[in-house]
Amino acid sequence: MKAVVTGAAGFIGSNLTDGLLRAGHAVIGVDNLSTGQLEFLSEARQSCRFQFVKADLFESDALDEVLPGADIVFHLAANADVRFGPQYPDRDLKQNTIVTARVLESMRRQGVSRIAFASTGSVYGQHHVIPTPEEAPFPVQTSLYAASKLAAEGIITAYAEAFGITAFIFRFVSILGERYTHGHVFDFYRQLRQNPETLRVLGDGTQRKSYLLVEDCVSAIQLAIEKSPELVNIYNLGTDEYCQVNDSIDWISERLGVSPRLSYSGGKNGWIGDNPFIFLSCNRIRKLGWTPKYTIREGIGRTLDYLVANPWVLERTQTDG
Amino acid sequence: MKAVVTGAAGFIGSNLTDGLLRAGHAVIGVDNLSTGQLEFLSEARQSCRFQFVKADLFESDALDEVLPGADIVFHLAANADVRFGPQYPDRDLKQNTIVTARVLESMRRQGVSRIAFASTGSVYGQHHVIPTPEEAPFPVQTSLYAASKLAAEGIITAYAEAFGITAFIFRFVSILGERYTHGHVFDFYRQLRQNPETLRVLGDGTQRKSYLLVEDCVSAIQLAIEKSPELVNIYNLGTDEYCQVNDSIDWISERLGVSPRLSYSGGKNGWIGDNPFIFLSCNRIRKLGWTPKYTIREGIGRTLDYLVANPWVLERTQTDG
């Protein structure tokens, strides 16, 4: 299989690229390197089946040049940080919705008929059905990030109907693991590395969160594109457990051997548009035979191990946009 | 109340403008006149409380100049023809999704805190729950038009959460009545006016459809913005009945006194992305005290009366572009 991965130098994109290469596929990775890191592709670039193309999908039609002959596009390029929507209201629209429309148009022009898309469990908003299945009642969007992903989902499925493009849509919980570059474990570790005495926590720490290790996420995606029978295939991806931010703080502190004083910003939500509780029903993907191998606690541990071993990641990447 | 109506020279926009003026409100109507007709505003333009601004909301920031002091924006400007999405794949995205985001940004800059939005029952796709309530299971999009409207809904509700903008979202069935300029009654009348002997029908004629007269639609919108208590208020708008395209053909033929030979294109769907059956549960808006005054048959009759009395509408307006 010849696959094109957009956002290939990103956290999930680079892990997926490695997974596809290990499975024997050829991969063209595309990234504008705005938040992606070429170092994340150092393993991939040793493979003769990998090619990297630096391109911005919002600005250029570069995808038209790499798509001919591809069997599938894994569209992971996105603005992935949900928190800063209100400060840059058009960023999610441009980077997530419009870029997805442009990817689909390139696919149509070049005759590529399958797309796998990284959506988000945030599309369920503050849902009253917990755990939330894919067919939960029509949700109301609560963040520009989720709205932009939902919009992209809608365009993808309309392309499926209009042009026969097969769609695989994955609604993730938060993903953790190697090459993780934003989110609360990252922020907490960075804070504790600078000052192990104090930890500032957004919200009141009781926010319940679901996490999935990126290795499990990649295996689910690979299984789903092999085994899904429909024109439109939508899957929640998560574990069957959740934790509170306070649990996570305990695990992180224990792993690092620190006992910080906690300073809570207060309130139920960490930031505007934050969901106090995302917990997805993953029965649909489990019916295909997928099971996550790691618990949330193990995922947080592996994430910390990676960050400790790769201090350049903290120095290089930004969390404020 | 000072209201801004985008798409004010369109079918629903002009009827809403008239309704708001009759209720004593001041209205600034904005339209790029790409499909809108200034004649539709001839009654409105006799009012000293009405002002018309010609502007294209995709190309310009003209809305920034008309919004200061406005209490609400009725955002009806859109590409309204669902059928031609596959031929112009970026039109719905630009005219419906991106323009809505631009309207919201103007509102935020100018401090306008309420938006009423014309969405569509098509966002439910080919839903298995009939009649379909607002909280139906998470639907899959089947047209670029509906996907673009769903995307706009998502951005609007994210703005509600992020910026406290109150949202009124109306998911319409097809609307009929005075100034109606596209859809099957329009197409059938135009065909029969040219040649009463033959009528070409898309699909097999058994497609079931719901219709609402524009007068009822406008009264529902006006009631909803007065009585809705939430930050985000979403309403289906339709009647409690539906008809088949074949019923409609009978009523139109009877009204016009013709007996055309019917030529069906065949198939269950009229066009790619067509929904074979849209029938909405409207309990939520009915709980506010709204009831449609007209049946579908009466609505089709009034639509024909209007088209017969205004032949210029058929000559001026296009259905293919």
**Chain position carrying tokens 């139906």:** B136
Check pLDDT > 80 for residue A192: yes
Kindly state whether residue A36 falls inside one of the protein's structural domains. yes
Kindly state whether residue B321 falls inside one of the protein's structural domains. no
Task: Give alpha helix (H) positions in chain B.
Answer: 11-22, 63-66, 91-92, 99-110, 144-163, 184-194, 214-227, 245-256, 283-286, 296-309, 311-316
Q: Who's near B121: CB < 8 A, 6+ residues apart?
A: B132, B171, B172, B173, B210, B236, B238, B278, B280
Please say whether the dihedral angle defined by the alpha carbons of residues B89, B95, B97 and B99, taken in this order, is positive or negative. Answer: positive
Judgement on whether residues A219 and A305 belong to the same structural domain of the protein = no
Judgement on whether residues B15 and B150 belong to the same structural domain of the protein = yes
Among A134, A161, A163, beta carbon nearest to B138: A134
Interface contact flag, B155 A136, Cβ < 8 Å: no
pLDDT of residue A89: 83
**Nearest CA to CA, how far is B155 from chain A (Å)?**
5
Taking CA B153 as the corner, what is the angle to CA B149 and CA B158, rounded to the nearest 5 degrees?
A: 150
Among B135, B142, B153, beta carbon nearest to A158: B142
Number of helices (H) and strands (E) in chain B: give both, helices first. Answer: 11, 13
ipTM beyond cut 0.95: no
* Domain housing B116: 2-175+213-237
Kindly state whether residue A192 falls inside one of the protein's structural domains. yes
Residues in chain A within 8 Å Cβ distance of B139? 138
Q: Are strands A243-244 and B2-6 parallel, antiparallel or unpaired?
A: unpaired
Q: Which band of pLDDT confidence, cut at 50, 70 and 90, is reported for residue A209?
A: confident
* CATH at residue A47: 3.40.50.720
Residue pair B308/B255 in contact (Cβ under 8 Å)? The answer is no
Judgement on whether residues A200 and A232 belong to the same structural domain of the protein = no
pLDDT of residue B320: 41
**Nearest CA to CA, how far is A237 from chain B (Å)?**
17
Interface contact flag, A98 B98, Cβ < 8 Å: yes
Residues in chain A within 8 Å Cβ distance of B105? 89-90
Kindly state whether residue B252 falls inside one of the protein's structural domains. yes
**Which amino acid belongs to residue B105?**
E
Interface of B with A in 261-280 (CB under 8 A): 272-273
Interface contact flag, B141 A150, Cβ < 8 Å: no
DSSP string, B62-88: THHHH-TT-SEEEE--S---GGGGGGS
pTM greater than 0.90: yes
Check pLDDT > 70 for residue A300: yes
Residue B93 contacts A, CB cutoff 8 Å: yes
Quick one: average pLDDT of A177-203? 92
How many domains does one find in chain A? 2
Interface contact flag, B93 A97, Cβ < 8 Å: yes
Interface contact flag, A158 B135, Cβ < 8 Å: no
Residue A151 contacts B, CB cutoff 8 Å: yes
Interface contact flag, B154 A150, Cβ < 8 Å: yes
Kindly state whether residue A288 falls inside one of the protein's structural domains. no
Residues in chain B within 8 Å Cβ distance of A272? 161-162
The residue of chain B nearest to residue A163, with distances taken between CA atoms, is B86
| Angle formed by the axes of helices A296-309 and A184-194, nearest 10° | 50
**Nearest CA to CA, how far is A99 from chain B (Å)?**
11
What are the pLDDT digits (tens) for A83-118?
666 778 899 999 999 999 999 999 999 999 999 999
Interface contact flag, A273 B158, Cβ < 8 Å: yes
Size of interface A-B (CB pairs under 8 A): 130
Residue A138 contacts B, CB cutoff 8 Å: yes
* CATH at residue B181: 3.90.25.10
Residue pair B135/B84 in contact (Cβ under 8 Å)? The answer is no
Q: What does the block give as tokens for B295?
A: 């049946």
Residues in chain A within 8 Å Cβ distance of B101? 89-90, 93
Residues in chain A within 8 Å Cβ distance of B134? 138
Residues in chain B within 8 Å Cβ distance of A137? 135-138
pLDDT of residue A269: 63
Judgement on whether residues B169 and B256 belong to the same structural domain of the protein = no
- Most B CBs within 10 A among A157, A168, A269, hence the mutation to make, goes to A157
Residues in chain A within 8 Å Cβ distance of B161? 141-143, 272-273
Interface contact flag, B157 A141, Cβ < 8 Å: yes
Kindly state whether residue A285 falls inside one of the protein's structural domains. no
Among B108, B155, B273, beta carbon nearest to A147: B155
Judgement on whether residues B86 and B183 belong to the same structural domain of the protein = no
**Nearest CA to CA, how far is A123 from chain B (Å)?**
9
**Nearest CA to CA, how far is A276 from chain B (Å)?**
14
Kindly state whether residue B104 falls inside one of the protein's structural domains. yes
Judgement on whether residues A135 and A273 belong to the same structural domain of the protein = no
Residue B61 contacts A, CB cutoff 8 Å: no
**Chain position carrying tokens 């293919």:** B320
Quick one: average pLDDT of A148-167? 97
Judgement on whether residues B32 and B97 belong to the same structural domain of the protein = yes
Alpha-carbon torsion angle B205, B208, B213, B216, nearest 10: 180
Judgement on whether residues A203 and A218 belong to the same structural domain of the protein = no
pLDDT of residue A315: 84
pLDDT of residue A321: 34
pLDDT of residue B321: 33
Judgement on whether residues A186 and A307 belong to the same structural domain of the protein = yes
Q: What does the block give as tokens for B34?
A: 């790409």
First-to-last CA distance in chain A? 35
Residues in chain B within 8 Å Cβ distance of A86? 162-163
Kindly state whether residue A49 falls inside one of the protein's structural domains. yes
Judgement on whether residues B167 and B220 belong to the same structural domain of the protein = yes
Interface contact flag, A161 B97, Cβ < 8 Å: no
Judgement on whether residues A126 and A251 belong to the same structural domain of the protein = no
Q: Who's near A82: CB < 8 A, 6+ residues apart?
A: A120, A122, A143, A145, A146, A273, A274
Residue B8 gets which letter from DSSP?
T
First-to-last CA distance in chain B? 36
Using CB atoms within 10 Å of the CB of residue A315, give its burial: 0 to 12 exposed, 13 to 18 middle, 19+ buried.
exposed
Among B93, B144, B158, beta carbon nearest to A141: B158
The residue of chain B nearest to residue A87, with distances taken between CA atoms, is B162
Each residue's pLDDT, cut to its tens digit, for chain B (321 residues) gives: 999 999 999 999 999 999 999 999 999 999 999 999 999 999 999 999 999 999 999 999 999 999 999 999 999 999 877 666 677 889 999 999 999 999 999 999 999 999 999 999 999 999 999 999 999 999 999 999 999 999 999 999 999 999 999 999 999 999 999 999 888 899 999 999 999 999 999 888 988 889 999 999 999 999 999 999 999 999 999 999 999 999 999 999 999 999 999 999 877 666 555 556 789 999 999 999 999 999 999 999 999 999 999 999 988 865 443
Quick one: average pLDDT of A61-83? 92
Boundary-marking domain end, from B221, B237, B253 = B237
The residue of chain A nearest to residue B87, with distances taken between CA atoms, is A162
Residues in chain B within 8 Å Cβ distance of A90? 101, 105
Check pLDDT > 50 for residue A206: yes
pLDDT of residue A308: 94
pLDDT of residue A270: 61
**Chain position carrying tokens 């092999």:** A226
Judgement on whether residues B144 and B227 belong to the same structural domain of the protein = yes
